[in-house]
Amino acid sequence: TDFFKTSALLWSTPNAARPLAHQMAISQLFLLSPRGDSIIHRDYRGELERSTTEVFFKNVKFYQGKHQEAPPIFNVDGVNYMYMKKNGIFFVLTSIDNVSPSLAMEFLLRVTKVFKDYCGIFSEESIRSNFILLYELLDEIMDNGYIQGTSSDTLKSYIFNEPVVVEKKKMKFQLPKFNPKTTSSDATNKPISFKDSKTGGKDEIFVDIFERISITFHSNGNVLHSSIDGTIQMKSYLSGNPELKLALNEDLTIGVGNKTGSYGSVEIDDCNFHECVRLDEFESQRIMSFHPPDGEFVVMNYRITSDFRIPFRIFPFFELSSPYKVELIVKIRADIPETNGGTNIVVQFPVPKSTSSVSSQTGIGVQGQNTEYDSKKQMVLWRIKKMLGGTEHTLRSKIVLTKAHTNSVKKEIGPISMQFEVPLYNPSSLQVRYLRIMPTAPGQSTNPYRWVRYVTKSQSYVCRL
Amino acid sequence: MSSSSSKRNKNKKKSKKEKKGPGNDSRYFSTTKKGEIAELKSELNDLSEEVVKDAVKKVIASMTVGKDVSALFPDVLKRMTTQDIELKKLVYLYIITYARSNPKVVLLSVNSFTKDAKHRSPLIRALVIRTIGCIRLPDVVDYFCNPLSDGLKDQDPYVRKTAAVCVAKLYDISPEAVEEHGFLKALRALISDENAMVVANAVAALSEIAESTAKDVFKITPDMLNKLLAAMNECTEWGQVFILDCLSKYNPTSKQAETVIERVVPRLIHANSAVAMSAVKVIIKYLDVVENNSMRSYVMREKIPNPLITILSGDKPELQYVALRNINIILQKETRLLDKHIRHFFCKYNDPLYVKLEKLEVMARIANNENYEKLLMELRAYGSEVDETFVRKSIATIGRVAVKLDTAARKCMRVLLDFVKSNPGGGGEGKERSVGYVAQNALAVMADILRKYPNRFEKVVEIVCKNGMEGYDEEGPQAAMIWILGEYANIIANAPEYLEECIEEFHDLDERGQLALLTATVKLFLKRPDDGKSMVQGLLKKASSVVENPDLRDRAYVYWRMLATDAKVAQQVILGDKPKMKDDTGKLDPSVVKVLVSNLASLASVYHKPPELFIHGGKESFEFKVHSQRDLDDDEDEDEDEEEDEDEDEDEEEEEVKETKRKKKSSRTALRSPPASKPSPKPKKPNTIDILHDFMGDDDAEAVEEEPPSDLKMVLNSSKGKGLEILAGYSRRDGDIYLDMHFNNSSSIVLDQFAIKLNKNFVGLAPASGKVICDAVPPGGSGRASHKLVLKPEAVNPDMAAGLIQIALKTKVGVLYFSATLNYDVLFTENGKMQQAKYLSTWKGLPAEEADIKVSNLKIQSPDKIKAVLGKANVFFVASRRAKSTGKTHLYFSLNANGTPVLIELTLNGSSLKGAAKSKDINIARLALAAATDKLR
């Protein structure tokens, strides 16, 4: 076979055959639309052909291996492809070296963040509208395949193009507002104010405490395992570069088995920090100090497996009324404070292969709920727009089968999974005690807006039957 | 003026129409209309810089979608002199993009570069350096050097860091220029720069250069170690990854290792998982040399697990996947590392499949006597998930746990039995009748457990075999059921009937099923002779006569003879103890684990393959056949006899096993490097040197031994060849064509086991075999090889230049690429002589078009010598004629260029010569004539 042609490597490159040592060079970075068109394409080393985009797309689109979804890293003809999908757009790196895969993935994540910082929101349209700015960025972010820097903050001194703000499409319905004081979540969808911060926009800073909850319930309602994956995220629009002090609960303990904290204290299994964070006062007072870089960044990641207040409980009941009919009753109870509420709740479960029809009923007279049976996926969906703390809702699903059920019918139904969001609440009770902005000049008193948000989201929230 | 303003208006209108504000770049993508180029041209020459900016953006937009806008190049270039930095950057953006596709034209702008290299803005100075680095042409090297040399000393770190990278780019084009201007020295000086980014880039550039030469440009010394550690705290996160990877290449002493580990441990809590992963890699490597045992176990137990698990808890499946693949390797070295953390690997409902499958792998590895009950509960729950691939793998994992842990076997069996019971076949017809895939797979896994723990689960056997094969339609489970029926024929009352049914459907079974059935029936006969006698006869007959599959037929013959000769012996063999099975799914050879552990946090750790297998030049990208692999293949094949019917797992599992076997094999081959002193086996080649010697007519035999033959040309210098210099040429001996190569080895390793490939070429030359026969070439020594080539029609590529032969040579230093120009006369065959009469008629019959050539200053002038020289090259003398009137001598020759006769007339006139040639293919005539007359120069 003509092996020179089958390889995407350029024959003419004098350096085509490089040895096996550990090198970190990235060859190309490209963005492909969901249809496979190249939106942005930057070649950093001139060692690969442009046709890599097609090779990549073909391999991802028609992945035939054991995994249905192509794994994020694969090798075709000596070219390594590393990709990530964000809002339907493929972010792809290629390399012919044995690079660090975590580096490649973290870099892609960072590129998406930088793009978002500069363009405000992230969509195919906003990329196309800003492509010259993005090329300018890409040339500063990487040179000859080596990462130069991905901090939106540092980059701004080299960038001259102005971003074009593309308006985000309005959602069909507005999320219910629980607290009029909060700014809308769109507030962070604007480009960071670079150029001149004096004339620039408002002096403000956003701190988000995100907690993603994973729980597996036994069918009797007991919790089999539970965990919280938390992130403290920040987006700064502060002028100057003031030092911040972010204080957390004083009784916070870190490490499993370090049961030194009193009852009710927050116990973290493990955590990690952004590199700008100084931890001198963390051990003693749980204070982190840092100069926030412009743009969005993660201050701290943490995870918790100790007990916490379960936000929603799921109770399933079976009624085997006749050989061809099974009834499943699902009760959901919101165990959150009454002042809080869950939104965008979706409960779903699969039904047996032999199902011919499903009819579902929610409580009488309830509003803002609907049910659906997707006969193709054989899934029952139950949507609840809003659910206040302390309330409960019930769903009755009558499942009609084409053949008589056996004892194992329960196994074919379920697991029941649930998605939700709870604004202004976090089950771990990890709190920002205060966020202090140190004055940059003596005597200067800055009082920027400080938005601290707590958001809880479901991650893997499942009840087994 | 008026025209330009009207255009501006037009522009405004256009953007208003699209309602996207004036700066929206997407409108530049709007379609090309006729005259667009002309329009852009006038806009580029507009007085307003705003209009020009807009125009340049449009040009760049057209370029990125692949439109040809080269006509506008001079117009854009003119704008380089602008004082507006934004416009200047745009112009450079255009040039940089252009430089990659069309470097020659960019040369036009070189003068402006030199001017801008002294621009007051460091942004522009750096831009110049970055841009020229992208013009990959040897011609620009001269323009390169001055700005680069200034840039390396620039007061602004932004310029210096750009210049540092540029040295690596320049080295790629012209290593000589880099040496000449002392750039390497300047780079090394930058390692002590005050700016961390400059240091990082200098280090990156130096290591890249170090890799493309055999020289020690960059080596980590103890002193450097301290510098790197100090720099690590100052660096960006990316710089930290780079430094950690540098550290991982260093071999420390115990003391150094302890210091480094202490400094690296804090990196484990970095939010960037790349930093954490590289830190893990350094720590694991360094812990190996730490003598302090308590430190070793403390760091391993307390410091490593949590950061790894924290990466898993993030919401980025891509990062989780990388971490899981790495954990899998670490666990093969540190088996008990995560014993207490198994629940963190439980699959989440919303994990992508590729993460779930990796988690199952890791859990099977972590499973032990303390945690298996929790794990089993999880695995049982996965059995009711929706995704089939995941469910199958989960069931297989239960089997792995049972085979691995004696104590867990009973509970595993119970879970599997539940699966079988809860998924029975219905009473219906067709598809409806079949047993659920969960039950079928559970049964196949049960067979493995029964095999591992014989005579422990008789009760289970009775239950699952209640209905025999009824409802089993998947091939793996079918074979498993047949195996159980045979193995437990003594306790399954209905075994004969069930097997009888299988025999009836013998032809519908797949190969595994058929083999299993053969064995099972023989077992039945040995255990219950009365029930099995007629069946076994019928089946053996069927399998040995009707069947075309040789494996099946052979096995049938073996059983037949055994039974016919001595039933006692047959019983001992067939019902004898089976080899103990163990779970080695995904288990890697210890030597491979070692390589992979040292390659943690690299792509090798994701693919679970040593880097040389997938990095360009590795085996998989270029399928070189190395003979040593053959030998291993044979070894591997020996252990198949009775065990063959053990492959009754589901397809996937089997594939995996094969994959591992293959992996093991290839990695072993790759890793096997013979000791330097051991010479490679004596080649069975004709006495090449003598023949070569003869052919060249050289008298000094000693000189040939030592010096490369003068006929060979340098085709690869040692810097491009990673220390191997190659001279090459072609020769023809005894009707065969040879590629003669002379190697000068200045690398540090013994080179042997060369393999060769030729790209398709004009004449269709291809190597007779892939392996090059050549004595080992020691470091500092030289060696030679004469490799036989053959002409193959499938190797012809008429689009290639006539003399161009591109060669890839696989060596111990990597795959080397070079081209060696072909002298066409090696194609002239020995049977090219033509009789005078035939010559005349042929000449007349050929097309009138003649190839011609003129040669002056002939080296060989006498007709006799010419005849002799050409005769050696298979150009045969036919006749001569001396024209009295002109005093010129006409010589006629014939030759056969690989099957195509070529007729040549040479007209001698003192020291000059005129040649003409005819052939049915004028191209061949031209090439042949040129090659023949070349011999006379």
pLDDT at B477 over 70: yes
For residues A465 and B412, give the distance between their C-alpha atoms in angstroms, rounded to a whole number.
20
Chain B, 816 to 845: residues with Cβ < 8 Å from chain A are 816-817
For residue A206, give how far its alpha carbon lies from the nearest alpha carbon of chain B (Å).
Answer: 19
| Average pLDDT taken over every residue of chain B | 80
Among the partner residues B123, B273, B622, nearest to A102 by beta-carbon distance: B273
Q: Does B274 sit within 8 Å of A105, measured CB to CB?
A: yes
The answer to whether residue B372 sits within a structural domain is yes
DSSP assignment letter at A278:
B
Partners of residue B322 in chain A, C-beta under 8 Å: 72-73, 101-102, 105
The per-residue DSSP string of B299-364 comes to IIIIISHHHHHHHHHSS-HHHHHHHHHHHHHHHHHSTTTTGGGGGGGSPPTT--HHHHHHHHHHHH
B237, B340, B375, best to mutate vs chain A, most A CBs in 10 Å: B237
Partners of residue A78 in chain B, C-beta under 8 Å: 614-618, 620-622
Q: Does B307 sit within 8 Å of A272, measured CB to CB?
A: yes
Binning pLDDT at 50, 70 and 90, where does residue B518 land? very high
Q: Does A212 sit within 8 Å of B100, measured CB to CB?
A: no
Task: For residue B491, give its domain range.
Answer: 357-574
Task: For residue A71, give its domain range.
Answer: 28-156
Partners of residue B363 in chain A, C-beta under 8 Å: none
Report how many domains make up chain B.
4
Say yes or no: A298 and A443 in one domain.
yes
For residue B883, give how far its alpha carbon lies from the nearest alpha carbon of chain A (Å).
Answer: 51
Q: Does A272 sit within 8 Å of B270, measured CB to CB?
A: yes
> Of A217, A230, A268, A247, which Cα lies nearest the Cα of A461?
A217
Helix, strand or coil for residue A92?
strand
Helix, strand or coil for residue B752?
coil
Say yes or no: A329 and A304 in one domain.
no
Q: Does B24 sit within 8 Å of A106, measured CB to CB?
A: no
The answer to whether residue A55 sits within a structural domain is yes
pLDDT of residue B11: 44
Higher pLDDT, A277 or B797: A277
For residue A103, give how far its alpha carbon lies from the nearest alpha carbon of chain B (Å).
Answer: 5
The CATH number given to whatever domain includes residue B892 is 3.30.310.10
pLDDT tens track for B109-166: 777 888 888 888 899 999 989 888 887 777 778 777 888 999 999 999 999 999 999 9
Say yes or no: B771 and B844 in one domain.
no
Partners of residue B217 in chain A, C-beta under 8 Å: none
For residue B774, give how far its alpha carbon lies from the nearest alpha carbon of chain A (Å).
Answer: 22
The CATH number given to whatever domain includes residue B539 is 1.25.10.10
A103, A418, A464, best to mutate vs chain B, most B CBs in 10 Å: A103
Say yes or no: B890 and B908 in one domain.
yes
pLDDT tens track for B252-301: 999 999 999 999 999 999 999 999 999 999 999 999 999 988 999 999 99
For residues A388 and A334, give the distance between their C-alpha atoms in angstroms, rounded to a whole number.
7
pLDDT at A2 over 70: no
Say yes or no: A354 and A221 in one domain.
no
> Of B342, B438, B432, B316, which Cα lies nearest the Cα of B385?
B438
CB atoms within 10 A of CB B823: 18
Say yes or no: B782 and B810 in one domain.
yes
**Domain end residue (candidates: B551, B574, B597):** B574
CB atoms within 10 A of CB B363: 26
Binning pLDDT at 50, 70 and 90, where does residue B680 land? very low
Partners of residue B415 in chain A, C-beta under 8 Å: none
Helix, strand or coil for residue A367?
coil
pLDDT tens track for B710-743: 678 888 887 777 788 888 888 888 888 888 888 8
pLDDT of residue B449: 93
Say yes or no: B815 and B920 in one domain.
no
Which residue on chain B is closest to A217 by alpha carbon? B381
The answer to whether residue A10 sits within a structural domain is no
| Average pLDDT taken over every residue of chain A | 82
Q: Does B277 contact A at CB distance below 8 Å?
A: yes
Say yes or no: A330 and A418 in one domain.
yes
Which residue on chain B is closest to A275 by alpha carbon? B270
A63, A112, A146, best to mutate vs chain B, most B CBs in 10 Å: A146
pLDDT tens track for B165-195: 999 988 888 888 888 889 989 988 888 888 8
In B802-820, which positions are buried (b, 16+ CB within 10 angstroms) versus exposed (e)? bbebbbbbbbbbbbbbbbb
Say yes or no: B716 and B847 in one domain.
no
The answer to whether residue B797 sits within a structural domain is yes
Which residue on chain B is closest to A378 by alpha carbon? B386
> Of B792, B778, B817, which Cα lies nearest the Cα of B898?
B792
pLDDT of residue A186: 53
For residues B242 and B238, give the distance between their C-alpha atoms in angstroms, rounded to a whole number.
6
Say yes or no: B838 and B752 in one domain.
no
Q: Does B54 contact A at CB distance below 8 Å?
A: no
pLDDT of residue B686: 40
The CATH number given to whatever domain includes residue B721 is 2.60.40.1150
pLDDT at A307 over 80: yes
The answer to whether residue B387 sits within a structural domain is yes
The answer to whether residue A233 sits within a structural domain is yes
| A319-323, B436-440, B557-561, B668-672: least confidently modelled range | B668-672
For residue B384, give how far its alpha carbon lies from the nearest alpha carbon of chain A (Å).
Answer: 6
Q: Does A162 sit within 8 Å of B274, measured CB to CB?
A: no
Say yes or no: A377 and A249 in one domain.
no
The CATH number given to whatever domain includes residue A445 is 2.60.40.1170
The CATH number given to whatever domain includes residue A129 is 3.30.450.60
Among the partner residues A19, A225, A274, nearest to B722 by beta-carbon distance: A19
pLDDT at A415 over 50: yes
DSSP assignment letter at A41:
E
pLDDT at B689 over 50: no
For residue B847, give how far its alpha carbon lies from the nearest alpha carbon of chain A (Å).
Answer: 34
Q: Does A102 sit within 8 Å of B323, measured CB to CB?
A: yes
Which residue on chain B is closest to A151 by alpha carbon? B236
Q: Which two tokens stand for residue B150?
A: 């200034």
The sign one gets for the Cα dihedral B102, B105, B107, B110 is: negative
Report how many domains make up chain A.
3
